[in-house]
Structure 1
Amino acid sequence: MAQSNTPRRPAMLDAARAETIVGDEDPAASAAVAHTAAWALMGVGDESFTDADVARLRDTVRSVGVDVIAHAWSRSPEFTLPGALWRLYLLHEWYHRDPGLVESRYAQGLRAPIIQGLEAPVQVRPLRAVMQEVDALLRGDLTDDDLDGVLAQASRAMRVLAAGESGPLWIEDPTDPLAHRVTMRTSALLATADELDLAAREAAFGTLD
């Protein structure tokens, strides 16, 4: 899909530094790294982060995986692009770690009499199809024009997963590699679904930061 011409937030970071994606204790610098990496993955650069820089970052992610930049997003607020991508990344990791378990919970959720946040009759896509789009976004195969659709579908999938028989918790073990303030909150799946909904609406209007 063609890249959007909607003006975007400046990357605030030079290409050489962003390419290393090294964490920084300075919150402003960390936020700059997170935003630069997130927008570059969507194919968006600016005066200081050129098309060639964007292409190199996306090629790197396709070669070695999104983990190389994902940690830069972990402290980003949910109403930002890096915060939304972090939530998609956690879903991506959970699914690929144990697809059978997550698919089973999704099937259980679809049989639930009520799925919070979704009107009956519930119409959702197969989880595997949703995850294929999430994976494509996190590989840099899609653009910011695709964001709202992927975020909205991931939100709906979260709501179905929350309705599964094992309850609304996401990650319960504090030693789990996916243990994070996003995944271990009370009713974490539903809270994350709400956050992805918000991000999807912002993306649709071109105001996701």
Structure 2
Amino acid sequence: MTTSSLKGVTRRGLLKAFAATTLVAAPTYSNAFGLLRGAGDIRRLRMHSGRTGEKLDTIYWIEGEYIPEAFAEINSFMRDWRTNAVIKFDNRTVDILAASHRLLDADTPYLLLSGYRSPETNSMLRSKSKAVARNSLHMKGQAADIRVEGRSVSQISKAAVSCSAGGVGKYSGSNFVHMDCGPVRVWGR
């Protein structure tokens, strides 16, 4: 480019054009969530279930594309283990889980305590504990309760909170963290 073709173009004008292009090209979720800090170009979910003995280690997202086969595996893994009921698990919650795990820099997978809960399971758990919500996001496939070996409830919750992407509940007495893709909020001790 010659200097004559740059007449009338200022550095500030170029920066404004670049900023406008960046905002238009940015994925929707990156504007709503702080997931990009932890998720990366490849998103991976590693979990095991103490209830079923199953293990999950899957790459479910590559360079902006969710992998349907990986999500089918995630949906099955996150099922209500009491009833074997499966629901399409919300990809936003999976993104929060993956980003938080990456931020924790943990070698060990999550221990899944609760993923999807059928209305029957939620009702049964609610009858035993006031901490179980009547309209729990677990019943929509939008929440998970997890632990990570070698990481405290405080460390896990701080990683999840830093994603600024949903609800994070600290349950120190029961040694688990709740993560969901609902409104951004934090609770617990």
The TM-score with structure 2 as length reference comes to 0.30
- The structure that is helix-richer by fraction is 1
The TM-score with structure 1 as length reference comes to 0.28
- The structure that is strand-richer by fraction is 2
* Structure having the higher Rg: 2
Select the structure with the greater relative contact order (CA < 8 A; seq sep ≥ 6): 1
